[in-house]
């Protein structure tokens, strides 16, 4: 089987809250460096954001297939994607990509070439802030940032994925699961199979369960990170958080106590969000924070350079 043509693919981008105004430039870079098409999936977005999406789509009618509003209230990422699967059929593949991934060069071909020899899905999109993508020993779940177990089994990424639609649908029907399946709701047969494969956890992020069960036969899934993609990670959460707190200096910031995890994720997302708002709104750019050293400083400088370049290239979109 040959790799699919880029023009045949439709990447679904799930938008939440009011982030479109700021993140659309990432998508402009994805469009510039691919020949694929895109669908904007509105998930709990206010009317003004949907209007912005529709205007963007109207300017790119050959690249944006539609703006599809799947829920008036924000639902889980995988649940929104399952709604798209139920409502739309784009042919032989089902694709998704996050809206905070910047493309610096053509990237689709490097991924689609993996879809041969029994491989039915390929994922990508390691975050800038991530130090590793292997589930730690004793971890109760499989979050989005972990793509492998300690023996090398591929859980895949929820950030960018290209699936053979037939394999995805067959697995979904066979085990009564979807991209939004989190674990507790599994039917007993699916739970037993996941346990037999050695991958039983309390909870799973978008796509992890269906990725596991895609591989319960002779089919395979590949995760491949490519250098031409820069994925910030967590930026939508930062720009449209579920709660806010006021710091001692009076600045209102997201309530990160509701988002446990690596504090590096917060540091990168916070700086990126502040910088992006300033660039888009025409305000003075914040300086790279003082204090971080080594790898952390490299990450913040990389983010600054990439965002300045992105707005310079695509700021008129």
pLDDT digits (tens, 9 = 90+) for 83-112: 999 999 999 999 999 999 999 999 999 999
Residue 102 Rama label (left phi>0; alpha psi -120 to 50; beta): beta
Vertex 260 angle, CA 257 and 263, to 5°: 95
Token reading at 94: 């089902």
- pLDDT at residue 123 above 50? yes
pLDDT digits (tens, 9 = 90+) for 210-228: 999 999 988 999 999 999 9
Phi/psi of residue 225, each to 5°?
Answer: -90, 135
Q: What is the DSSP letter of 206?
A: T
Rounded to two decimals, the pTM is 0.92
d(CA 311, CA 29) in angstroms, rounded, equals 10
Helix (H, G, I), strand (E, B) or coil at 35: coil
Average pLDDT along the chain: 91
- pLDDT at residue 32 above 50? yes
d(CA 260, CA 237) in angstroms, rounded, equals 12
Helix (H, G, I), strand (E, B) or coil at 66: strand
d(CA 156, CA 146) in angstroms, rounded, equals 8
Closest alpha carbon to 160 in 118, 117, 199, 103: 103
The CATH-assigned architecture of domain 6-223 is: Alpha-Beta Complex (3.90)
Specify the domain boundaries for CATH 3.90.550.10 within the chain. Answer: 6-223
pLDDT digits (tens, 9 = 90+) for 168-195: 999 999 999 999 999 999 999 999 999 9
d(CA 60, CA 193) in angstroms, rounded, equals 45
Closest alpha carbon to 143 in 129, 154, 128, 158: 158
Residue 250 Rama label (left phi>0; alpha psi -120 to 50; beta): left
Under the banding of pLDDT at 50, 70 and 90, the label for residue 131 is confident
pLDDT (0 to 100) of residue 262: 60
pLDDT digits (tens, 9 = 90+) for 195-207: 999 999 999 999 9
Pairing of strands 252-254, 101-103: unpaired
């Amino acid at each position: 089987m040959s790799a699919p043509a880029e023009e045949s693919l439709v990447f679904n981008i799930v938008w939440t809250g009011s982030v479109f105004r700021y993140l659309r430039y990432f998508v402009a870079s994805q469009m510039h460096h691919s020949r694929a098409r895109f669908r904007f999936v509105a998930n709990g977005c206010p009317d003004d954001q949907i209007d912005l999406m529709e205007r963007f789509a109207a300017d790119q009618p050959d690249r944006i297939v539609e703006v599809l509003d799947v829920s008036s209230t924000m639902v889980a990422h995988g649940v929104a994607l399952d709604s798209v699967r139920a409502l739309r059929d784009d042919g032989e593949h089902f694709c998704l990509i996050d809206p905070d991934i910047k493309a610096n060069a053509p990237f689709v071909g490097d991924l689609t070439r993996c879809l041969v020899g029994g491989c039915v899905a390929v994922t990508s999109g390691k975050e800038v802030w991530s130090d590793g993508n292997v589930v730690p020993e004793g971890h109760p779940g499989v979050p989005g940032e972990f793509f492998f177990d300690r023996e090398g089994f591929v859980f895949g990424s929820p950030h960018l994925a290209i699936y053979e639609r037939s394999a995805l649908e067959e697995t979904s029907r066979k085990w009564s699961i979807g991209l939004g399946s989190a674990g507790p709701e599994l039917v007993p047969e699916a739970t037993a199979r996941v346990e037999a494969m050695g991958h039983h956890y309390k909870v799973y992020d978008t796509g992890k369960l269906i990725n596991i069960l895609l591989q319960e036969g002779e089919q395979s899934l590949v995760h491949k990170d490519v250098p031409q993609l820069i994925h910030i990670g967590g930026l939508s959460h930062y720009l449209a958080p579920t709660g806010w707190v006021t710091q001692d200096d009076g600045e209102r910031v997201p309530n990160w106590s509701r988002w446990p995890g690596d504090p590096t994720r917060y540091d990168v997302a916070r700086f990126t969000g502040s910088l992006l708002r300033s660039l888009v709104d025409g305000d003075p750019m914040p300086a790279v924070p003082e204090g971080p050293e080594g790898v952390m400083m490299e990450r913040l400088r990389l983010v600054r350079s990439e965002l300045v370049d992105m707005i310079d290239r695509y700021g008129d979109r």
